[in-house]
Structure 1
């Protein structure tokens, strides 16, 4: 079973181009599942039945795993069996017609426009590090890209003159995103002045650098943003997706169409983008309740 998992992960990496984090997630789920099978005397993947999978998922539930975790595990197992069936390694798919547990969609945390403005004004522009931080925050809010995409940017991915950036999202899919004047101005200042003070090696292509002159990591960036959130007195908990959620919500609140937002976010399915319409609707209800004389 271990070799089959390795073969499946290789397929996901090469044929589907999934990210390293996603591959590791699939692998963890499947190792946990096959370990459960072995503990129950099943050594051959073709011996598994629907009851085995239900038993495994029930065990996760008893351990207090979240519904989202159980649903993700089932999705990993289903994809694994689908791969084995297509390659003729099993005769039937035991996950057929097996329903995923209902996952309650939680509305993402979103900052108000005022909170975003306070956060964006927090960096000290008298320092090169402050200009870098301001450029990162402005770029994140201007584009809605993921934090992993932000820290992966190279200098050639930003075109100041044309006013856009190029990034590679999930599955290495390229997308082009326009940038506003404010983000472009601070980016120009960072790239042409402040970055030069941080770089140690002239061959370094990473856009955003730490004080060692190396690519700034995701963890390093979130230490930075938490610092500014505290400085701006923002009480809401900021997660790696908060800026992305805020970007999408503010666009929709100001009249952007859903398809355009979907394209900028790089969502493969518009149903993923539709979560933000629920946020804007809930805000409309709040405004109505506060302002209508007969609400």
Structure 2
């Protein structure tokens, strides 16, 4: 079944993907009491739940939850790679961006080895196709993964006993190499950068709180998605349960597929807690107020208030604005404090801050389970395993991390440079 054409069951409800509110979403359309009704959501399971809630609200229980036709492949058949791929992507609950990326990557294979039956395809066929395409390493790796996905599905269905695939394409991760090579320098620079930004007279002081939160090992979407409601003032912790999208919307959950409502709680050391509360106070003084409606559980609406607001638009700071200023901040710091220019080797990518945090936690001999809970390096199946890590247990970790970041030598160095320039 092609998702864009929808699917019908005996309840006469149609489920399909459509462009809505400027993005592709799942939609369910059904007729009830002589009228057509529509519900939309980014997640297929949630849109079905919304349909049930709407039916109940209308008052008559005449329509059952819509069920797509099952796209099962008979074990006796010999399906092509295209058939296995199409079935997998339509049944998987991918984000639309991931869905589109996989579709585009497979397009080059569709009229090539995609037409070959799963039982008769050979390694030579796959190698010939890859040699002909001569794609970039990352593109080749993605296609290799998609073929592997089809092979694994075929094994689960009992169509084949062993996967047929070429060796995994080798990809050089330059970011990882740079992080491993220059991590000591990155850690020193971040310590100095935070001291420099903390100064009230700094032209980029308004970005101090954002950089401070990045230094807690948070992802950029999680930082920009922080709201006043994210702060638990009772035990001075931060609840990470949402992120900002590139369209400026808040969505529930952190990194992962749609439908993931995972969250984590991290301690807020005193200086970090103060930086956030000062940012909220500064917003109120400048008359900056922003409210965003989102669905923390995928069904019910909630209104929350972003902490990091763009003064020009009075909306949450977007990714493009953040990246533009992140480069400017580092350029200014290197020119004023380090006495050099921003280069490929001393530029710190936003995500590198997570690696810096992990490195410092490891140096301070923080247990790996605690570090994973703070950084969010866990999947939804492991969440329950970490529920025994309480806020009171995390607080000493936060204090230890804060002390490690407050490097006296680097702080004194930055302050001396600033003092010399003002004399």
Deviations, residues 229-250 of structure 1 (Å, cap 9, x unaligned): 1111054122231211111112
1:261, distance to aligned residue in structure 2 (A): 2.3
1:189, distance to aligned residue in structure 2 (A): 0.6
1:134, distance to aligned residue in structure 2 (A): 0.7
3-state SS of 2:307 partner: coil
Identify the match of residue 225 of structure 2 among 145, 149, 152: 152
5 Å matches for 1:184-263?
A: 184-194=273-283, 197=286, 199-202=288-291, 205-211=305-311, 212-233=313-334, 235=343, 236-263=346-373
1:162 matched to 2:235: yes
- Conserved 8 A contact 1:81-1:93: no
Deviations, residues 176-217 of structure 1 (Å, cap 9, x unaligned): 222222111110111233266363545563332222111212
- Conserved 8 A contact 2:309-2:317: yes
Following the alignment from structure 1 to structure 2, what is the Cα–Cα distance between the partners of residues 83 and 91?
Answer: 9
Q: Which has the higher strand share?
A: 2
1:49 matched to 2:134: no
1:140, distance to aligned residue in structure 2 (A): 0.9
1:96, distance to aligned residue in structure 2 (A): 4.1
1:180 matched to 2:269: yes
> Corresponding residue for 1:9?
89
The verdict on how the C-alpha distance between 1:104 and 1:43 changes in structure 2, with shifts beyond 3 A counting, is: closer
Following the alignment from structure 2 to structure 1, what is the Cα–Cα distance between the partners of residues 206 and 92?
Answer: 36
The verdict on how the C-alpha distance between 1:194 and 1:182 changes in structure 2, with shifts beyond 3 A counting, is: same
- Conserved 8 A contact 2:126-2:165: no
The verdict on how the C-alpha distance between 1:253 and 1:80 changes in structure 2, with shifts beyond 3 A counting, is: same
- Conserved 8 A contact 1:151-1:217: yes
Q: Which has the higher helix share?
A: 1
- The gaps in structure 1 that reach 5 residues or longer are 270-295
Following the alignment from structure 1 to structure 2, what is the Cα–Cα distance between the partners of residues 185 and 44?
Answer: 61
5 Å matches for 1:16-165?
A: 18-34=94-110, 38=111, 40=112, 43=115, 49-50=121-122, 51-60=124-133, 62-63=134-135, 65-66=136-137, 68-83=138-153, 86=156, 91-92=159-160, 95-96=163-164, 98-103=166-171, 106-109=176-179, 110=183, 111-123=185-197, 126=200, 130=204, 132-142=206-216, 144-165=217-238
- The gaps in structure 2 that reach 5 residues or longer are 4-82, 241-252, 293-303, 335-341, 380-423
The verdict on how the C-alpha distance between 1:78 and 1:22 changes in structure 2, with shifts beyond 3 A counting, is: same
How many residues align? The count is 255
Structure showing greater Rg: 2
- Conserved 8 A contact 1:57-1:74: no
What is the alpha-carbon root mean square deviation over aligned residues? 3.6
The verdict on how the C-alpha distance between 1:24 and 1:181 changes in structure 2, with shifts beyond 3 A counting, is: farther
**TM-score (norm. length: structure 2):** 0.51
3-state SS of 2:347 partner: coil
- Conserved 8 A contact 1:165-1:178: yes
1:24, distance to aligned residue in structure 2 (A): 3.8
The verdict on how the C-alpha distance between 1:48 and 1:267 changes in structure 2, with shifts beyond 3 A counting, is: farther
- Conserved 8 A contact 2:197-2:204: yes
Following the alignment from structure 2 to structure 1, what is the Cα–Cα distance between the partners of residues 197 and 281?
Answer: 18
**TM-score (norm. length: structure 1):** 0.70
Q: Which moved more, 1:156-165 or 1:193-202?
A: 193-202
Deviations, residues 44-94 of structure 1 (Å, cap 9, x unaligned): 77587234433333345x34x22x4433331133224434665x5x93488
